[in-house]
Structure 1
Amino acid sequence: MGIDRSPDGELGAVAIAQRQGDRVVVRAQVFPPESATGMASTEAMRVRLRDLRLEFPLAQSRDEKTKRALAGPAYAFDRLAFGESAEMLEQDGLAMVDVPMTASVMGPPSTLAYELITTGRLIRDDDPILAEHVANTTAVLTDRGMKITRSKHGSTRPNVAAVAMVRAVAMAMQEPPVPFVRKPRAPVGF
């Protein structure tokens, strides 16, 4: 899952990505500004993320072979935009992963998302808002890899759902860690 908020806090977005074979299915929800504050409600975003955690209770599952608890879904966020809320959610047991909006960190996920889009392996529902946010985004090749940015420098067109989608795709495409299983060794004599 991926989370993003605009720099001014006006918009927020939560994206969900799930790998299905060699394809990735994506859904997104954008949180518009509240009339009272003119900013997206971080409380509404936290409630949605907690609800999603209940929909995907993977951490309650256990590996059949090792009987260890499987890790739940990872929530990728930028500490500058969502840090305080992330700390609250982490205390609630959500697996929060800091994915800052820097070229060195966002380069590989942006490249992966671009590849999935151009090869037709990124599947999305007919969400016009997500489509608009992706259309408002440009992939720029830098010396550190590809990064996503707004279509025009200084543009005010929103792209928070696209950034959240890239973070969600990055989390969905990671291979789960291989559990360590101790193997007994034969005794060695001197």
Structure 2
Amino acid sequence: MDTSTTLEEQIQVLMDSLADTALSAAESRHQSQAGEAHLLYALYRNDGLVGSILRGHGLESSEIRLLMSDIPNRPLKMGEDPVLSASSRHILHDAHDAVEVLRQVQRDSHVELLLRAHGIELPEHQPTREQVEAASRTGVNLAQTVSPNRGRQVGVDYLSYTRLMLEAALKNQ
């Protein structure tokens, strides 16, 4: 089985899921666009690593809902469906794991202030995609050496975890 294809499929499933949740959040607020705050809500609702981190820092869904309501957004017209904002489309297209989505939505000043209030800040140094993938491959190869019959694969959450470990290592340099 080609794990890179499987990984790309996993990433696409994650990004599609985040987009669907963000669009549903915009629709429930009768907003025409799903922006960074809506993506933050989608990350928060996700059962993966990033959702656990956000909830673990005490972030509440009510805070994110309030943020979504406070950011100016054109009202949704009758019979119209919300769309992803240009910046949200760009984030979901370019990101390779949930941590990268989180890092990119933090560039929005409203989102950054909310996350900073919960002790979640952008790191000074972020690893490149190549560094994350290389570290993940090394980890998977090591795991297969230790227990070759386990058939381990790199998953999106594993990439997120690796990214966090690399950020911590880069921060201490």
TM-score range, shorter chain: 0.3 to 0.5
TM-score (structure 1 length as normaliser): 0.33
TM-score (structure 2 length as normaliser): 0.36
The structure richer in strand per residue is 1
**With CA pairs under 8 Å and 6+ residues apart, which has the higher RCO, 1 or 2?**
1
* Structure of higher CA gyration radius: 1
The structure richer in helix per residue is 2
